[in-house]
Amino acid sequence: MSMPFDAESRQSDTSLLRRYAAGDARAARALTQRLSPMVFRVAVRLLGDRAEAEDIAQEAMLRLWRIAPDWREGDASVSTWLYRVTVNLCTDRLRSPRSRSAGWPDDFDPPDDTPGPEMRLQEAARATALESALGVLPERQRTAVVLRNLEGLSNPEIADIMDVSVEAVESLVARGKRALAKLLAKQREELGFSDD
Amino acid sequence: MTDQRDDKKDTVGSLDEADLDLLFSAARSAAPDPDAALLARIETDGLAEMPRARTARLGQEQSIASRLARIADRLVWPAGLSAAALVGLWVGVSVSPQVPLLAEGLIGTDLGFAVAGLFPSVDLVGGGY
């Protein structure tokens, strides 16, 4: 995504949040452009539903706007705080009886915005297969794997977000990856691994 | 920091670590992006919740309250003025040397002598003081 706000793009999240709290509208726009994609991406991967992920993204960002005046320098990083809020909101949504995405079907096919020939490309097939398999993982394993292997966070960061020990994160990630390997084994050939 | 090296030793199954890495890489490349409408909604929320905007809203509420207070003042002020006018009139009437009613009441009394002593210019009608 392009970032047309050069002055803002060089600033840290905390600086932007401070400017936002001081009433700077450009900071609101910069924070929206910078942080919303991350929140939305995680929510889609945890919930498997774009519409629900949009609700979560809007709610998580609303909480950020509201906490901005009280944000302290010594607090967690803005992105870590936002990951935590997003994960908690998704967890609540998944545990809610009215959740549309609670219990992903085995043949879950993630929403696809670009149907057609492109989807036959191997990369897209792999991405689709992985996201389908993620939906089958237990909630906490899925969260740990998404944060570790798709968002690229460190284990201590994930431990902070999920409020568990680093050892628990390691265990969740390892078990999650083992489960993914087994779930995707039967698609090995169609994912193009037989020739690797 | 415990990193991916630690994850690798735990991964077993029909797909190996390298296969999984390729799958994760493909998924990262195909990351879902929010559409423009969602970004616009989030930014709108941000502007509405911005402290200055909230202050302005608060100010607006206070402005309404102060306007009500001014209206109340206007209602109360004539009443206060009327009361003050009545008191002033009463005082004026009370000390006016031209009011026979009062003078008559004072003539020949100790108070009348005292008033005449204190205010020689006061002409108590018919009093000759």
d(Cα A28, Cα A19) in Å, to the nearest integer? 8
CB within 8 Å: B23 and A154:
no
CB A3 within 8 A of CB A34: yes
Task: Say whether pTM exceeds 0.95.
Answer: no
For all residues of chain A together, what is the average pLDDT?
86
- pLDDT at residue A118 tops 80: no
pLDDT at residue number B15: 87
Phi, psi of A58 (to 5 degrees): -65, -40
**Residue A50 is which amino acid?**
R
Measured CB to CB, residues of chain B less than 8 Å from chain A are 1-3, 6-7, 10-16, 18-20, 22-24, 26-34, 38-39, 41-43, 45-47, 49-53
Q: What is the pLDDT of residues A133-153, one digit of tens each?
A: 999 999 999 999 999 999 999
Mean pLDDT of A3-32: 86
pLDDT of residue A133: 94
> Angle at the Cα of A38 (from A166 to A82), degrees rounded to 5?
60
Nearest Cα residue to B46 out of A56, A145, A75, A33? A33
- Tens place of pLDDT per residue across chain B (129 aa): 444 444 444 444 478 899 999 999 999 988 999 999 999 999 999 999 998 766 656 556 555 656 666 665 565 555 655 666 666 666 665 555 555 545 555 556 665 566 556 555 555 444 444
* Helix/strand/coil percent split, chain B, to 5: 75, 0, 25
pLDDT score recorded for residue A115: 45
Q: Report which residue type is found at A194.
A: S
Tell me how far apart the alpha carbons of residues A170 and B6 are, in angstroms, rounded to a whole number. 8
Do A177 and B10 touch, CB atoms closer than 8 A? yes
The region, left, alpha or beta by phi > 0 then psi within -120 to 50, assigned to residue A121 is: beta
Angle between helices A25-47 and B36-49 (to 10 degrees): 130
Q: Are A191 and A129 in contact (CB under 8 A)?
A: yes
- The first and second tokens of residue A6, run together, are 């050069």
3-class SS of residue B11: coil
Rounded to whole angstroms, the Cα distance separating A116 from A191 reads 18
Burial class (CB in 10 A: 0-12, 13-18, 19+), A81: buried
Minimum Cα–Cα distance from B50: chain A residue: A23
Using the predicted structure, report yes or no on whether residue A180 has a pLDDT greater than 70.
Answer: yes
Torsion over CA: A81, A83, A86, A89 (sign): negative
Residue pLDDT, tens place only, A36-92: 999 999 999 999 999 999 999 999 999 999 999 999 877 789 999 999 999 999 999
Where is pLDDT greater, at A152 or A190? Answer: A152
**Angle at A61 (CA atoms; ends A57, A66), nearest 5 degrees:** 150
Alpha helices (runs of H) in chain A, residue ranges in sequence order: 6-9, 13-21, 25-47, 50-67, 78-95, 122-136, 139-145, 155-162, 166-185
Give the residue on B whose Cα is nearest the Cα of A30.
Answer: B43
Closest partner CB to B26 (pick from A65, A127, A182): A127
Q: Which of A96-105, A115-124, A163-172, B73-82 has maximum average pLDDT? A: A163-172
* Greatest distance between any 2 Cα atoms in chain A: 57
A23 DSSP assignment = T
Residue B33 and residue A20: Cβ atoms within 8 Å?
A: no
CB contact under 8 A, A28 and B46: yes
